[in-house]
Structure 1
């Protein structure tokens, strides 16, 4: 967790100290509770995992399913309204802004129903990424975009439905 806090301190000009990041950033608190809930989920204590998820959601405004896989140094900035589904995968060094949804499209689907966000991606405010899509390494998703198809590495996607406007 301190590795994440140090990374946030480096990249967020509004952060003034490590203590401030750890104690007041809702994304840090949500990830802390998520890691504990995930432990209980992995050890077949689903009630405790669900209870901790609800506690975290109530305190932070961020809903993370205990089964979601979240990497290192993930920064959930502001956080209110972020929803991360149970089969979502978020790799290292990803930034999510407020209102982001990593959700499913079809309730009857089995297997991976939620997005896979690769290393270094940046997801803008209120972006909706739905279904078993992949957002490539170091890609950017614009604010308010609705992503229903894969986004390649190093691409920028905007709009509803999202379209690629730039690929490096």
Structure 2
């Protein structure tokens, strides 16, 4: 049996974290915790107790349990960062998850409290900061750096020698060219193509695909039945 783990959160991200830690790590998830105002009427989640965060330390001593903060990118990752700081101030060690199905080159440097899902490729000399989430299927190029408190969604390409500034969010299928530096507090939208350095506090979005004037069945010459 591995170390005992408490997960902060009850969202879909927390549910994913529970699955990954349970089935692909040495951790044993023993409880969930959330702020007291968000504790639901039900007493359990996945048959594990739900504990108010302000009662956590009294019930689960910090020297016997680790904590993982399963929170998304709200407020440009600041909510997750605040909870991580609170957990550390209580004396808990922070858990990390790196999928057994991720490819992480041996000299890659990983910070604390990372969440790296399956099919991520992280090439030589890359550095991943603390409190970083890499959802499934990304490419992190050689010698690139992802700074603290970032959230990279899925099928993102970060080419070689890039730098992603702290607190940034990178959306699904975004592509970042070689040697590009993304400023801190950037929101890179789904499908964006970034080929030049970006300033801090920048938002990049792409146009949504419009519906065509012709229907799918007519275009494909399907007879209505």
TM-score by length of 1: 0.61
Partner Cα separation in structure 2 for residue 154 and residue 69 of structure 1: 22
TM-score by length of 2: 0.46
* 1:87 CA drift (Å): 1.3
Partner Cα separation in structure 1 for residue 183 and residue 100 of structure 2: 24
Partner Cα separation in structure 1 for residue 16 and residue 174 of structure 2: 29
**8 Å CA contact 1:103, 1:130 repeated in 2:** yes
Larger helix proportion, structure 1 or 2?
1
Q: 1:28 aligns with which of 98, 110, 130?
A: 98
- For each residue in 1:49-73, what CA deviation from the matched residue of structure 2 results, as whole angstroms up to 9, or x when unmatched? xxxxxxxxxx922111131011011
* 1:38 CA drift (Å): 2.1
SS in 2 for 1:16: helix
Change (3 A) 1:153 1:86: same
Residue 152 of structure 2 corresponds to residue 96 of structure 1: yes
Larger strand proportion, structure 1 or 2?
2
Equivalent positions of 1:104-115 (< 5 A) are 104=160, 114-115=161-162
**8 Å CA contact 2:103, 2:122 repeated in 1:** no
* Number of matched pairs: 124
Residue 69 of structure 2 corresponds to residue 69 of structure 1: no
RMSD: 3.4
SS in 1 for 2:14: coil
Change (3 A) 1:23 1:64: farther
Please name the residue that 1:38 is paired with.
107
Structure 2 segments unaligned to the other structure (5+ residues): 25-96, 110-116, 208-225
Structure 1 segments unaligned to the other structure (5+ residues): 42-58, 105-113, 161-168
Partner Cα separation in structure 1 for residue 195 and residue 167 of structure 2: 20
Partner Cα separation in structure 2 for residue 22 and residue 30 of structure 1: 11
Runs of 4+ in structure 1 off by over 6 angstroms are 30-33
